[in-house]
């Protein structure tokens, strides 16, 4: 298939673009490099630099594309609280421009990077796709609005859309020829930040809250290896059905506490990684774990890599990227 990958110069888009190329697809990346890197676009893909608003129609029109994989977004929760307008414009506005460009160019399939942040504070765990969506920050709200727009474009314009609601993505793609991983300039994710201590870039890791109602008192989150996540995109692409919008959670279905993650990082790196207790951060739920039953039963997806593999691959990538 000929595929447009928005945000393919970023962490996840770069990994999935590489997997799509290896599966025999033709890939064009559209990215404005606001948080991505031109050298993260995998060899074999063509990079078009620009925003979705500026360039999506020019790229799609007459290009004979079969589908779009839409990763491009701003995704820093704290920044979204400071600058909600930027997030609504950049995430929802640019996504609507993309959807309209797809319609005009006659491209009717899209796989979208949605997020666990659409659910907000969960009422029960593990989180099901049918659970209430009450995002607690503008980032999650913009992603939920894009899910809603996809449902409307499916119903009213016949687009086939799949929203994959990712939980915490980690790890790297290291298959010899392809080396793709996480290189965020502003890093908010736990595993790369813990590994920065082992790399000597930080003194210690901050643990926000040790008095949660969890077995060791620290927050519990669901982690998914980026390579397993990519495999789900290939399945989702095949599952796009004109006129239908589908939502699937994408996590392991297992939770790990902050302390457990730090312990695995210590084992993998052999570094003591000092941890420093801090008060809870406002708005951090105690437990966020996905039910991945729907994607397992309907698309036959199964995660194959455990937390140790995520940490080991992220560690290998971080050392190579230095
Ligand atoms: N990393 C995670 O754990 C996680 C979890 C849930 C959801 N997600 C979602 O997955 C997607 C990818 O996340 P990531 O961690 O790879 O982020 P990233 O910042 O590494 O990648 C995003 C890419 O999109 C590009 N981009 C942003 N806005 C653009 C625009 N308007 N036009 C063109 N290009 C634009 C950036 O330059 C960057 O290359 C995002 O949509 C994010 O919300 C990520």
User: How much of the chain exceeds pLDDT 70, in percent?
Assistant: 100
Q: Tell me how far the alpha carbon of residue 184 lies from the centroid of ligand 1, in angstroms.
A: 10
**Cα 91 from Cα 75, distance rounded (Å):** 9
In the residue annotation, 153 being an active-site residue is answered as no
pLDDT at position 322: 80
CB 170 within 8 A of CB 191: yes
pLDDT in tens, 26-39: 999 999 999 999 99
pLDDT band for 115, please (50, 70, 90 cuts). very high
CB neighbours (10 Å) of residue 77? 17
Residue 255, Ramachandran bin (φ over 0: left; ψ between -120 and 50: alpha; else beta): beta
Tell me the mean pLDDT in the region 284-303.
Answer: 96
pLDDT tens for 146-188 read 999 999 999 999 999 999 999 999 999 998 889 999 998 998 8
SS3 content of the chain, % helix, strand, coil (to 5): 40, 20, 40
173-174 and 179-180: which strand pairing? antiparallel
Q: What is the pLDDT of residues 216-264, one digit of tens each?
A: 999 999 999 999 999 999 999 999 999 999 999 999 988 999 999 999 9
Binding site membership of 73 for ligand 1 (Cβ less than 6 Å) = yes
Q: Which residues contact 94 (CB under 8 A, 6 or more apart)?
A: 51, 52, 53, 72
Q: What whole-number distance in Å separates Cα of residue 19 and Cα of residue 4?
A: 14
Question: Is pLDDT larger for residue 99 or for residue 282?
Answer: 99
Task: List the Cα angle 221/222/224 in 5-degree steps.
Answer: 140
CB of 31 within 6 A of ligand 1: the answer is yes
33: left (phi over 0), alpha (psi -120 to 50) or beta: left
Q: In DSSP terms, which residues pair with 287 in a beta bridge?
A: 220
At 114, give phi and psi (nearest 5°).
Answer: -90, -170
| Vertex 305: Cα angle to 300 and 309 (nearest 5) | 170
Q: Is the CB of 188 under 6 A from ligand 1?
A: no
Which ligand 1 atom minimizes the distance to the CA of 34? 37
Ligand 1 pocket residue status of 169, Cβ below 6 Å: yes
Give pTM, 2 decimals: 0.97
Q: Quick one: DSSP state of residue 91?
A: I
Question: How many helices (H) and strands (E) would you count in the chain?
Answer: 11, 15
Centre of ligand 1 from the C-alpha of residue 213, in Å: 32
At 219, list the tokens: 């927050």
Give me the pLDDT at residue 284, please: 87
pLDDT above 90: percentage of residues in the chain: 93
């Amino acid at each position: 298939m000929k595929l447009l990958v928005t945000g393919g110069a970023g962490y996840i888009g770069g990994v999935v673009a590489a997997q799509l190329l290896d599966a025999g697809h033709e890939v064009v990346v559209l990215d404005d490099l606001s948080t991505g890197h031109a050298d993260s676009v995998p060899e074999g893909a063509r990079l078009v630099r620009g925003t979705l608003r500026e360039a999506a129609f020019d790229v799609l029109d007459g290009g004979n594309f079969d589908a779009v994989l839409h990763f491009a977004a701003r995704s820093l929760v704290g920044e979204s609280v400071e600058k909600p307008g930027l997030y609504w414009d950049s995430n929802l506005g640019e996504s609507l421009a993309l959807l309209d460009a797809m319609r005009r160019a006659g491209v009717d399939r899209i796989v979208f990077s949605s997020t666990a942040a659409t659910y907000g504070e969960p009422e029960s765990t593990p989180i099901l796709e049918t659970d209430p969506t009450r995002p607690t920050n503008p980032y999650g709200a913009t992603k939920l609005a894009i899910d809603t727009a996809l449902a409307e474009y499916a119903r009213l314009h016949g687009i086939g859309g799949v929203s994959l609601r990712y939980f915490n993505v980690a790890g790297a793609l290291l298959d010899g020829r392809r080396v793709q991983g996480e290189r965020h300039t502003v890093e908010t994710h736990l595993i790369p930040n813990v590994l920065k201590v082992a790399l000597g870039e930080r003194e210690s890791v901050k643990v926000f809250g040790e008095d949660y109602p969890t077995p060791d008192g620290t927050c519990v989150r669901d982690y998914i290896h980026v390579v397993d996540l990519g495999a789900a995109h290939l399945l989702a692409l095949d599952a796009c059905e004109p006129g239908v919008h589908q939502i699937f959670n994408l996590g392991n279905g297992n939770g790990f506490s902050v302390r457990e993650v730090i312990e695995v990082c210590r084992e993998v790196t052999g570094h003591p990684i000092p941890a420093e207790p801090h008060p809870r951060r406002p708005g951090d739920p105690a437990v966020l774990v996905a039910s991945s039953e729907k994607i397992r039963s309907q698309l036959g997806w199964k995660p194959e890599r455990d937390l140790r593999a995520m940490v080991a691959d992220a560690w290998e990538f971080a050392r190579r990227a230095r």
